[in-house]
Amino acid sequence: TEEMMIRSEKMSIAGQLAAGIAHEIRNPLTSIKGFLQLLQAGVNRKDVYYKIMIDEIEKMETITSEMLFVSKPLTENKQQESLLTMLQDVLELLKPQAKLKNVLLEINGEEQDIFCDKSQMKQVFINIIKNAIEAMEEAGKIVITIREVDNDIFIDISDEGPGIDEAVIHKLGEPFFTTKQQGTGLGLMITKQLLDRHRAKLEILQNEIKGSTFRIIFPKH
């Protein structure tokens, strides 16, 4: 039946994902183990080895932070939540990373409640705003705008990065598609899945002057 088809398709995506993540985590682990063995043997150049190990651990941190709230769809808990509060929580979390790059984070617009699972929507905001910060090549501003449009709430997250190449725009959200050296290519895929669970949509727009805007369209009812 159609439902079975959909289920088996989901299984294969989950399987693909698990294999990919295992791979993403096994590589850094193997390299950390190797460097620890070298250190144990008493090599010189310790500073270099420490740096590589920290980089590898950061990569695993990224993967786990992108998946933090995804593992428990069964415990989904949807209720009316304040958008402003969720966004402020997320900005607090991302502030250190933004500060390092001299990026200001700003929220504009009206207070709105949305009916959602708070953890999942925070994960969505983390993944999109993290990308926005990573896209910024120099100091600048990321502006988040909340507004009501007909029966939807638009949440625009706008950066001043290089924007997105027309040729790859349709690949965003495919598992493991990344243009970054340290990327996982999982953030937007997870984001899209979480938005699906809320019947919300993601639009990606090119800004007129510079950068791109990720627009979440969230239904009011």
3-state DSSP helix/strand/coil percent for the chain, to nearest 5?
A: 50, 20, 25
Closest separation between CB of residue 112 and ligand ADP, Å?
A: 23
Stretch in the footprint of Mg ion (CB under 5 A) among 51-59, 85-93, 116-124, 128-136: 128-136
Residue from 21, 13, 34, 118 nearest 67 by CA: 21
Binding site for ligand ADP (CB under 6 A): 127, 131-132, 135, 159, 161, 164, 172, 177-180, 183-189, 212
Residue 187 as a binder of Mg ion (CB under 5 A): the answer is yes
Residue 131 as a binder of Mg ion (CB under 5 A): the answer is yes
Closest separation between CB of residue 74 and ligand ADP, Å?
A: 24
180 binds, among Mg ion, ligand ADP, none (CB under 5 to 8 A by kind): ligand ADP
Closest separation between CB of residue 2 and ligand ADP, Å?
A: 29
DSSP codes, 194-211: HHHTTT-EEEEEE-SSSS
Report the distance separating Cα 188 and Cα 59, nearest Å. Answer: 17
86 close to 122: Cβ distance less than 8 angstroms: yes
Q: Which is nearer to Mg ion, 132 or 143 (CB)?
A: 132
158 binds, among Mg ion, ligand ADP, none (CB under 5 to 8 A by kind): none
Closest separation between CB of residue 196 and ligand ADP, Å?
A: 15
Q: Where are the beta strands (DSSP E) in the chain?
A: 78-82, 103-109, 113-117, 140-149, 152-158, 201-206, 212-219
What are the residues binding Mg ion (CB under 5 A)? 131, 187
